[in-house]
Structure 1
Amino acid sequence: MTSSTEVFCTNDLCNAGWPEVLTHMSPWGWANLGIGFALGLSVLGAGWGIFLTGSSIMGAAVKAPRIRSKNLVSVIFCEATAIYGVIMAIILTNKIQDPPEDIESYEWTTAFFAGYALFCGGLGVGLTNLASGISVGVAGSACALGDAQDASLFVKILIVEIFASALGIFGIIVGIIQSNVADFPQV
């Protein structure tokens, strides 16, 4: 009787460790995966923050209709995290060069370094903007609810929201620094 691994593992890759698995993926695949994470997680963070803020604005506006237009600033701060992801995706996309036609004389070590750097930069920006979008949404929700109770709380809580939005800016700065070292070899 044969086991299931004997049936499906007929080549050497089935017995390979993680280093071989990670190096058998194309550097352009890593780079594009980083772009996807930067864009996707940033938009997810913005959407989550807008959901939190928007639902609280609509709920609190029942008690105090005056807060609806004033608290839309919180939604704009959430949307900024998605814009940071788009900016980073454009920067990362411009760093990618076409694969070579002659693969024998290509500098694969440099290409893998560039692919991993773009992946890490995109993942870092995406995760940072996910956290930033959620924290801006929570602060915006508190801002709307506090403003409905006491109008003097709006500016005080808005400052906290600005600090939460700064997380996304820090993430994109680190992502730009990481992407600056990612240079695919010239073909």
Structure 2
Amino acid sequence: KRSCTHRYCFAVCIKQDQRSRHARGTVPTSKERGVREEQIVKKIFATMVGSSSSWSTALVKISPYTFASIGIAISIGVSVLGAAWGIYITGSSLIGAAIKAPRITSKNLISVIFCEAVAIYGVIVAIILQTKLESVPSSRIYDPESLRAGYAIFASGIIVGFANLVCGLCVGIIGSSCALSDAQNSSLFVKILVIEIFGSALGLFGVIVGIIMSAQATWPSKG
């Protein structure tokens, strides 16, 4: 419906332009008509979406503390989501397989520990990012250095949060397969555990890059 409305507005604008030109006795050439139609399209698009400069101005006017706080929230929130998701996948398979093979319960708890470590990564990075926040005079909140610090903390939180989300899913799926394989053949446990260790290393990559990124967050001095 929206696209039909836009086409209708465009057609109405073209008709009105043609009528005004005919009333003045001036018939536009094909080139002039094309330029005029392009101008009308730009006006309609600017009315519906807004110019790019307005969006960039709005983003710059957002406080860097807002970006920093969102980054901290994403760091811990998405990491805990990944850990909970992984524990859910591993735990459900482990409980189901333990009914037929109770011996696998103790060994496969290590998969749950690996998933829990993902949440710990997020908590540690969130604490580090929290220590990066500093008070800045109101006159210098929108300085380039303040914006850079806010964006750095925001990017660090996104990197750590989503890296741990994927890591938690990876470890959870591998841990689920490990529990089912161990219930069938106990010799497969150590081999699959090696794969699980490599999967848990994915979260460490995000933590390392996130800490390096947060080191770029320097706020302007009060002096």
Say which of 73, 81, 90 aligns to 1:36. 73
Alignment of 1:12-23 (within 5 A): 17-23=54-60
Q: Is the counterpart of residue 57 in structure 1 residue 94 in structure 2?
A: yes
Q: Which has the higher contact order (CA 8 A, sep 6+)?
A: 1
Say which of 142, 156, 180 aligns to 1:145. 180
- From the CA coordinates, give the structure whose radius of gyration is larger: 2
SS at match of 1:56: helix
Q: Distance in 2 between matches of 1:74 and 1:122?
A: 25
Say which of 133, 144, 147 aligns to 1:112. 147
Q: Which residue of 1 aligns with 2:134?
A: 97
Q: Distance in 1 between matches of 2:66 and 2:203?
A: 25
What is the aligned-residue identity percentage?
56
CA contact (8 A) 1:30 1:119 kept: yes
Structure in which a larger fraction of residues adopt helix: 2
Question: Pairwise CA RMSD of aligned residues?
Answer: 1.3
Instruction: Return the offset for 1:100.
Output: 1.4
CA displacement 1:84-135 (0-9 Å, x = unmatched): 000000110001101314x1x5671000001001000100100000000000
TM-score, with structure 1 as normaliser? 0.88
Q: Distance in 1 between matches of 2:77 and 2:159?
A: 12
Q: Which residue of 2 aligns with 1:167?
A: 202
Q: Distance in 2 between matches of 1:18 and 1:69?
A: 55
Q: Distance in 2 between matches of 1:92 and 1:169?
A: 16
TM-score, with structure 2 as normaliser? 0.74
Q: Which residue of 1 aligns with 2:158?
A: 123
Gaps of 5+ in 1: 1-13
Q: Distance in 2 between matches of 1:154 and 1:121?
A: 35
Query: How many residues of Structure 1 are paired with residues of Structure 2 in the alignment?
Result: 172
